Structure 1
């Protein structure tokens, strides 16, 4: 590892200052504001908040539905990952699961609620097919369906990745040793994945507990803490101090989640040797998991089928005549095209600058001897812990009187900070696997440290960098929880515009904008995957 060069400090110091200004200080101000009253600093905000029966009910509702969501999501994600990795179901079905499960991630969560309404409502698409109402979709049921769809892709990715590091020969050995099906399953599959399953549960709980998009569209009278915070901050009579106190309360489950994850991490174990083993076919297992996986995937995607139907008929569900009128109206509306261009602009800037910052931070941490570089891991942990709504609210309070208020810059900075953890870890994992002597070799050959990074490390990380870009772009396109506090009429994005259109019942415009986001994100993802394949071949 090379000695600390001036160029390293030139990069390291601005990154630290960036996160100090746009993460640590805003959260500190939020915490201080939660104690601020007209009579000085005291606990009266917390007393008022925690004595509010409506708020306590909403917190209880959020805990209840998020816990149930986390259980269902973890079980379903495990089932799908097991089907992909430990059965001999048809290869096309495996590919369909791995691809189809990720499609909801390309849409803003507020769209989920409207898709559920148009699928399960009295005149819904699925209701029409079945011939009767399957569930009452406003309130608990609608939220549960939306949360499970929202959290399932992330939980699946986590568990599916861990399955790749399970040595399947132990499954065969267990059978040869005479273990029963349940005992073999517990010892060779469940035990190695305890930490990952716990992580999937915590992840699902936190992101459903703090989501605003789904409750905003389908929550009905079932109050949750995210909508309570929105009403306190942006209602008819805003109360910033009470909002700050609610935001701090929302951090508590996230902190407990991180502590639980650290505990579960100790339960993980690694194999001394790892080998690829082909499992033998088992008709009952393969058919059973194939059917279950197909049903789960079809059920999830069928909720969004209406989104591809409603905008292309005259008046869903009353006049099903095919038409391009709504599509043409969307593109002819300067208001709607403006918010779409805004979203593209923000997503592109977030992806470019976010990727540069996350990659630079990872290089500094893994490939240099810069003093205090472990602070970058602390920053990653903080950004992973703080919910989007809480971070957005902290920006609203901290930058309220500044020139950054209501600008695209603040939205881009919010997105870079909020989504920092995953791209940073992607780069960190990739860089840690590279030869640690490359920089020293480059120095001996007369290259500067920056030139070695540019000519050696970056080309060897090209595939990861492309994946980081894709992650930042897609998440910046669909985010709503935090930016709802930051956008103005001039900087409105598609996800916030959908919230506005809800009040006027303009569902054709809502679905058309959602389709634009979906198609854009899908195109970016496919393009990035094509570049990755090309990069891997090179």
Structure 2
């Protein structure tokens, strides 16, 4: 590990300043606003809001639906990830399952609700195919379905990555020791995965508890905490202090989540090496898990299938004449085209600046001896559980009345901070596996630290940087909760425009914009996957 130098301290100072300005300061202002009242600093706002029965009901509604979502999502994500790693399902089918599970990540969450309406509503596509409605889509049922679809991809990816590090040799050892199947499964699979299972459950709970997009489109009369915050802040009479109190209440589950994750971390196993062996043949296991995985992926894809059909019809489901009119309307209406362009601009700048900030933080932490470098680990832990709506509201309170209000700058930095954790961990894990003496060798050969980074470290990080690019860009294109309080008429994004189009019942235009986002994200992901494959071949 390289000793601290002037340029390292300079980068550390700039990076830390960014997090002070766009994380610590906004949250501090949020907390301060929650205590401000006509009497000065007091607990009056908390007493008033906690005596509001509607708010308390919404809070516990969110707890209820988010808890059930976390349970269902964790079971499904574990089952699918287990099927991909510990069964003999054919490889092409495994690839299709893996690709199908993550499809919802490429769409804004507010689109999920409209897809559910057009699929499971009284005149929905699936309802017409089956001949009857399966359930009442508005309220609890619709929210639960939307949340499960929303949280399944990130929970699956977490499980999928963790299963890579399970040493299959211990399964053979357990079998040779004549362990019962249940005992063997617990000791070799479940026990080493407890930390990850808990992390997936916490992630699913936090994502559903704080999401605004899905309840905005399909929540109905089932009030949740995210819609309460939106109504208080953007209603007929906005109340910043009460909004700050609701935001602080949304942080309570996040605080418990951090404690739970710390506790579950003790269950994580660390193997010195991994043994790759053939999976034991078990046709019943393969068939059951294969069918379950196909059923889940099929259900997810069928929910969004209508999105690829309705925009090409005059008026689904009443007039099924083929037309390009809806696409023509979007592209001919400058406002809608500008919204899409705004989203692409924000995603591009978020990605480039985000990678620079994240990579700087990771390389300072892993490859130097700077004092205070562990601060970035704390930042990562905080941003991992910080709700997007809370962060967005804190930016609104901090920058309200300033020249930055309603600009792309605060939207971009909000996205960078909001999605900091995953790219940071990607970069940190990659850099920690590289030869620790490269910078020292470069210095002995006369190269500066920057030159060594550019010529040696960066080329060896290209695959990770590509993955970071994909993550930042896709999430910036689909984000709803994090930017709902920050957009203006000039900086409107697709997610906020979809919310506006909802009021005018322009669902075809909503689907067209969603398809544009989906197509853009698919293109970016394919390019990133191609670059990564080329890097693996070179390696």
Shorter-chain TM-score bucket reads: over 0.9
Give the match for residue 132 of structure 2: 132
- Offset from partner CA, 1:81-135 (integer Å, 9 cap, x none): 1110111112221111111111100000000000000000000010011000001
SS of residue in 1 equivalent to 2:491: coil
Greater shift, 175-184 or 17-26, is seen at 175-184
SS of residue in 1 equivalent to 2:220: coil
Give the match for residue 95 of structure 2: 95
Greater shift, 286-295 or 177-186, is seen at 177-186
Give the match for residue 70 of structure 2: 70
Q: Report the Cα distance in structure 2 between the residues aligned to 1:293 and 1:318, rounded to whole angstroms.
A: 34
Give the match for residue 256 of structure 2: 256
Give the C-alpha shift of residue 43 in structure 1.
0.3
8 Å CA contact retained: 2:118, 2:306 = yes
Give the match for residue 81 of structure 1: 81
Q: Report the Cα distance in structure 2 between the residues aligned to 1:180 and 1:381, rounded to whole angstroms.
A: 39
Give the match for residue 241 of structure 1: 241
Q: Report the Cα distance in structure 1 between the residues aligned to 2:187 and 2:134, rounded to whole angstroms.
A: 39
Q: Report the Cα distance in structure 2 between the residues aligned to 1:516 and 1:273, rounded to whole angstroms.
A: 44
Q: Report the Cα distance in structure 1 between the residues aligned to 2:491 and 2:292, rounded to whole angstroms.
A: 44
Q: Report the Cα distance in structure 1 between the residues aligned to 2:324 and 2:308, rounded to whole angstroms.
A: 12
8 Å CA contact retained: 1:149, 1:300 = yes
SS of residue in 2 equivalent to 1:304: helix
Q: Report the Cα distance in structure 2 between the residues aligned to 1:228 and 1:509, rounded to whole angstroms.
A: 27
8 Å CA contact retained: 2:350, 2:415 = yes
8 Å CA contact retained: 1:168, 1:277 = yes
Give the match for residue 446 of structure 1: 446
- Offset from partner CA, 1:382-416 (integer Å, 9 cap, x none): 21121100000000000001110001111111111
- Offset from partner CA, 1:332-387 (integer Å, 9 cap, x none): 11111000000000000000110111001111111111121111111111211211
Q: Report the Cα distance in structure 2 between the residues aligned to 1:429 and 1:368, rounded to whole angstroms.
A: 15
Give the C-alpha shift of residue 280 in structure 1.
2.3
8 Å CA contact retained: 2:168, 2:274 = no
Give the match for residue 530 of structure 2: 530
Give the C-alpha shift of residue 272 in structure 1.
4.1
8 Å CA contact retained: 1:478, 1:495 = yes
SS of residue in 1 equivalent to 2:137: coil
Alignment of 1:25 onto 2:42 = no
In the TM superposition, what are the counterparts of 1:113-512 in structure 2 within 5 Å? 113-512=113-512
Q: Report the Cα distance in structure 2 between the residues aligned to 1:411 and 1:73, rounded to whole angstroms.
A: 30
Greater shift, 431-440 or 90-99, is seen at 90-99
8 Å CA contact retained: 1:383, 1:419 = yes
Give the match for residue 61 of structure 1: 61
Greater shift, 470-479 or 275-284, is seen at 275-284
Gaps of 5+ in 2: none
Q: Report the Cα distance in structure 2 between the residues aligned to 1:536 and 1:287, rounded to whole angstroms.
A: 32
Q: Report the Cα distance in structure 2 between the residues aligned to 1:395 and 1:247, rounded to whole angstroms.
A: 12
SS of residue in 1 equivalent to 2:267: coil
Q: Report the Cα distance in structure 2 between the residues aligned to 1:433 and 1:167, rounded to whole angstroms.
A: 19
Give the C-alpha shift of residue 274 in structure 1.
2.2
- Offset from partner CA, 1:5-30 (integer Å, 9 cap, x none): 11112211111111101110110010
Is the alpha carbon distance of 1:347 and 1:272 closer, same or farther for their aligned partners in structure 2, counting shifts above 3 Å? closer
Q: Report the Cα distance in structure 2 between the residues aligned to 1:31 and 1:314, rounded to whole angstroms.
A: 50
Q: Report the Cα distance in structure 1 between the residues aligned to 2:444 and 2:272, rounded to whole angstroms.
A: 36
SS of residue in 1 equivalent to 2:279: coil
Is the alpha carbon distance of 1:271 and 1:371 closer, same or farther for their aligned partners in structure 2, counting shifts above 3 Å? closer
Q: Report the Cα distance in structure 2 between the residues aligned to 1:402 and 1:173, rounded to whole angstroms.
A: 65
- Offset from partner CA, 1:295-320 (integer Å, 9 cap, x none): 11101111000000000011100111
Give the C-alpha shift of residue 285 in structure 1.
1.0
SS of residue in 1 equivalent to 2:496: helix
Q: Report the Cα distance in structure 2 between the residues aligned to 1:511 and 1:232, rounded to whole angstroms.
A: 28
SS of residue in 2 equivalent to 1:320: strand
- Offset from partner CA, 1:447-473 (integer Å, 9 cap, x none): 111111111111110110111111111
8 Å CA contact retained: 1:388, 1:481 = yes
Q: Report the Cα distance in structure 2 between the residues aligned to 1:414 and 1:357, rounded to whole angstroms.
A: 13
SS of residue in 1 equivalent to 2:314: strand
Is the alpha carbon distance of 1:280 and 1:523 closer, same or farther for their aligned partners in structure 2, counting shifts above 3 Å? same
SS of residue in 1 equivalent to 2:484: helix
Alignment of 1:520 onto 2:524 = no
Q: Report the Cα distance in structure 2 between the residues aligned to 1:3 and 1:273, rounded to whole angstroms.
A: 30
Give the C-alpha shift of residue 173 in structure 1.
2.6
Q: Report the Cα distance in structure 2 between the residues aligned to 1:395 and 1:197, rounded to whole angstroms.
A: 33
8 Å CA contact retained: 1:167, 1:277 = no
8 Å CA contact retained: 2:466, 2:531 = yes
- Offset from partner CA, 1:236-272 (integer Å, 9 cap, x none): 1111001001101100101100110010000112234
Give the C-alpha shift of residue 277 in structure 1.
1.1
- Offset from partner CA, 1:161-191 (integer Å, 9 cap, x none): 1111111222233223222222222222111
Q: Report the Cα distance in structure 1 between the residues aligned to 2:518 and 2:273, rounded to whole angstroms.
A: 42
Give the C-alpha shift of residue 60 in structure 1.
0.4
8 Å CA contact retained: 1:206, 1:254 = yes
Greater shift, 340-349 or 171-180, is seen at 171-180
TM-score, with normalisation over the residues of structure 1? 0.99
SS of residue in 2 equivalent to 1:484: coil
